[in-house]
Amino acid sequence: MSYALNRVTVPVTVDAEKCIADKGCTVCVDVCPLDVLAIDLSKGTAYMKYDECWYCMPCEKDCPTGAVNVDIPYLLR
Amino acid sequence: MNTIEIEVDVLVIGGGTAGPMAAVKAKEKNPNLRVMVLEKANVKRSGAISMGMDGLNNAVIPGHATPEQYVKEITVANDGIVNQKTVMAYAENSFAMIEELDRWGVKFEKDETGDYAVKKVHHIGTYVLPMPEGHNMKKVLYRQLKKRRVEVTNRLVATRLLLDENGAIAGAMAVDSRTADFYVIRTKTVILATGAAGRLGLPASGYLFGTYENPTNAGDGYSLAYHAGAELSGIECFQINPLIKDYNGPSCAYVTGPFGGYTANAKGDRFIECDYWSGQMMFEFYRELEGGNGPVFLKMDHLADETISQIEEILHSNERPSRGRFHEGRGLNYRDGMVEMHISEIGLCSGHSASGVWVNERAETTVPGLYAAGDLACVPHNYMLGAFVYGKFAGESAAEYCATHSLVPVDEGQIEKERARVWGPLSVKDGLPPAQVEYKLRRMVNDYLQPPKITRKMEIGLQRFGEISEDLSRLSAADPHELMRAMEIHFIRDCAEMAAVASLYRKESRWGLYHYRADYPDRDDKDWFVHVQLKKGEDGNMTCFTRPIAPYIVPLDEQEKTAYEKLRIVKEPATI
């Protein structure tokens, strides 16, 4: 079987300037009920790894630096 | 990948609403017990109340309502199919729970005299208590877990329960969604608090996770209970909710109703007398939506500016705060436009309707050592407060069971078989990606199970779910996260089969839209005034049977019995 790579826009975005994942912060990754966020170790920032969002907002509310933004997924907007 | 063994006395599966309460109450009963909460996400922000709650929907507060009145209301709202003892046990403990939550720091709305400011939303009684500052629910619960020294494990997916040779609880097995480590937990008791089967139907948007319920709640507990041989009940009484179209969250009439907002048709006219969610209400909603006066809206544009500001403050900071962002994106302001509403995909959830694991008034299931509480436990219309009350019952009952039972040996055969099943998708190369299988399965749920229910369609649905069951061994997981999704498809498929089998079994229509069978359109109290139970038969196949309704402890008079059947507003003909 072979697989395709479909591009999708993701609802959760992270401001790299504000994100302090490089200092060891993992708050947004920890609180996500769907476990869809991860830390990009090469860039030292959090990002949305899986497009499985409930647009519930703990990641945005609990981020200590206001780096995370939750938008409504495009299909619902 | 390792196998990790743990021993506890009480294992609570699910750390959302009922789960933390159950753990705290088990510890309160006996502080020496080893109590562990096993959570799929993170207890700090998990479950249906991840972002808090905007109100209690079923507060039974002295001076505003009585337990007897509440039992009547729910009996009527659920078309008579209730074990009244379970509803009464909730109602009698409702107020004490509110007071306890109040002491713990949950903020409820009070009037100028300090009395709880209860509002009327239901058809008969007054039970809705707003929580405009209800966003801190999870923090309050987390503090209690720490205080009582409850052990917490996050990011573990429970996959099967372990039984001893007599069919009693011996343990549970789980997989870590970050490392794929396999867990064997020996325990005297298990409390299931995994929430609704909220990822059953596919939302009309096509977005798999755009569900009403927290999509982490994939029906895990329904499947765990089923495979452990527990009875489930009322599965055919689906959860279908009136939601903001596309956003697929509550709008929410319980909040706006007391301020003067209401459900209206395209002309802005009311068509139902009462916005309380019931099958009958959903049926009228469905008729209006599909009829010439549709679609349906939530109307607030007639309210004063300051009233709307108050509503916005509640709706856009609690439960589903992103609804404000959704409306903003479409340029909708409650002041000058109505909110377009739609009917949700189907789910299983006793918190809103009645489908769940059968429990008695002590939260005991039919399996010794197994308890259930919250959205997955069959106590009709139990909502958040019901989850707390039954969480309390489950914790206390489990603690009592521990006093007279010891850990039993676990069967290596069961463990080996389960580990092979759970790790399977990691070694499947060139297999099916979980997202694709889930999309197809849930699309089939919509096609064949969304009411109106039609016999032949449901039979075809069962055949399709059977075919997808063949696909499960071809599921392939690229990482532990995908492995979690793959295991969830097993749960979803089990729930889909249960929904079809139970719906086919009850050959009548009941609960309005929740169980509207086009080929059996009438309610038939002569043959079907019974619970429909579902369990795994001796032969391993799904079977249904009936349980009589226990004699009512709160009798209904004739007029009350039909209260929910007359929800549609009938206009007097205009006189010339």
The shortest C-alpha distance from B322 to chain A (Å) reads 7
Interface touch B47/A33, C-beta < 8 Å: yes
Which amino acid is residue B232, in one-letter code? L
pLDDT at B573 over 70: no
Between A and B, how many CB-CB pairs are < 8 A? 86
Residue A73 lies inside a defined structural domain of this protein: no
Nearest to A33 among B46, B322, B485 (CB): B46
Query: Beta partners for B548?
Result: B530
The shortest C-alpha distance from B312 to chain A (Å) reads 17
Q: Which residue has the tokens 């309210």?
A: B303
The more confident residue out of B66 and B568 is B66
Q: Is CATH 3.90.700.10 the classification given to domain B242-343?
A: yes
pLDDT at B65 over 90: yes
Average pLDDT over residues B489-494: 98
| pLDDT bracket for residue A72 (50, 70, 90) | very high
Residue A63 lies inside a defined structural domain of this protein: yes
Per-residue confidence (pLDDT) for residue B574, from 0 to 100? 57
The answer, for A35 touching chain B at a CB cutoff of 8 Å, is yes
| CATH number (domain holding residue A56) | 3.30.70.20
| pLDDT bracket for residue B469 (50, 70, 90) | very high
How confident is the model over B382-391, as pLDDT tens digits?
A: 999 999 999 9
Half-sphere exposure of B184 (CA within 13 A, CB side): 18
Per-residue confidence (pLDDT) for residue B72, from 0 to 100? 95
Interface touch B210/A1, C-beta < 8 Å: no
The shortest C-alpha distance from B223 to chain A (Å) reads 20
Nearest to B41 among A35, A72, A77 (CB): A35
How confident is the model over B34-43, as pLDDT tens digits?
A: 999 999 999 9
The answer, for B326 touching chain A at a CB cutoff of 8 Å, is yes
Per-residue confidence (pLDDT) for residue B42, from 0 to 100? 97
pLDDT at B563 over 80: no
Per-residue confidence (pLDDT) for residue B378, from 0 to 100? 98
Interface touch B322/A70, C-beta < 8 Å: yes
Per-residue confidence (pLDDT) for residue B276, from 0 to 100? 87
Token duo for residue B139: 């923090």
Q: Which domain holds residue A42?
A: 12-67
| pLDDT bracket for residue B395 (50, 70, 90) | very high
Average pLDDT in chain A:
96
The shortest C-alpha distance from B15 to chain A (Å) reads 11
Nearest to B206 among A3, A70, A75 (CB): A75
The shortest C-alpha distance from B207 to chain A (Å) reads 7
- Alpha-carbon distances of B561 from B272, B457, B548, rounded to whole Å: 18, 32, 19
Token duo for residue B399: 């603690």
Per-residue confidence (pLDDT) for residue B22, from 0 to 100? 98
Query: What's the number of domains chain A is made of?
Result: 1
The answer, for B177 touching chain A at a CB cutoff of 8 Å, is yes
Residue A31 lies inside a defined structural domain of this protein: yes
Query: Beta partners for B390?
Result: none
R_g over Cα of chain B: 23
| pLDDT bracket for residue B80 (50, 70, 90) | very high
B541 DSSP assignment: S
Alpha helices (H) along A1-77: 27-31, 58-62
**CATH architecture type of domain B414-548:** Up-down Bundle (1.20)
pLDDT at B575 over 60: no
Nearest to B207 among A33, A62, A73 (CB): A73
CA B510 to chain CA centroid, Å, is 19
The answer, for B214 touching chain A at a CB cutoff of 8 Å, is yes
Nearest to B215 among A34, A62, A72 (CB): A34
Name the packing angle between helices B480-505 and B455-471 (round to 10°): 150
pLDDT at B344 over 80: yes
φ, ψ for residue B343 (rounded to 5)?
Answer: -100, 135
Per-residue confidence (pLDDT) for residue B565, from 0 to 100? 78
| pLDDT bracket for residue B576 (50, 70, 90) | low
Average pLDDT over residues B459-467: 98
How confident is the model over B83-111, as pLDDT tens digits?
A: 999 999 999 999 999 999 999 999 999 99
| Beta strands B10-13 and A45-48, pairing class | unpaired
The answer, for A62 touching chain B at a CB cutoff of 8 Å, is yes
Per-residue confidence (pLDDT) for residue A70, from 0 to 100? 97
The answer, for B207 touching chain A at a CB cutoff of 8 Å, is yes
Per-residue confidence (pLDDT) for residue B122, from 0 to 100? 85
Residue A22 lies inside a defined structural domain of this protein: yes
Residue A29 lies inside a defined structural domain of this protein: yes
Average pLDDT over residues B423-447: 97
pLDDT at B290 over 80: yes
Nearest to B215 among A54, A57, A70 (CB): A54
Per-residue confidence (pLDDT) for residue B536, from 0 to 100? 98
Residue A7 lies inside a defined structural domain of this protein: no
Domain boundary assignment for chain B: 242-343, 414-548
How confident is the model over B151-202, as pLDDT tens digits?
A: 999 999 999 999 999 999 999 999 999 999 999 999 999 999 999 999 999 9
Q: Which residues contact B104 (CB under 8 A, 6 or more apart)?
A: B140, B143, B144
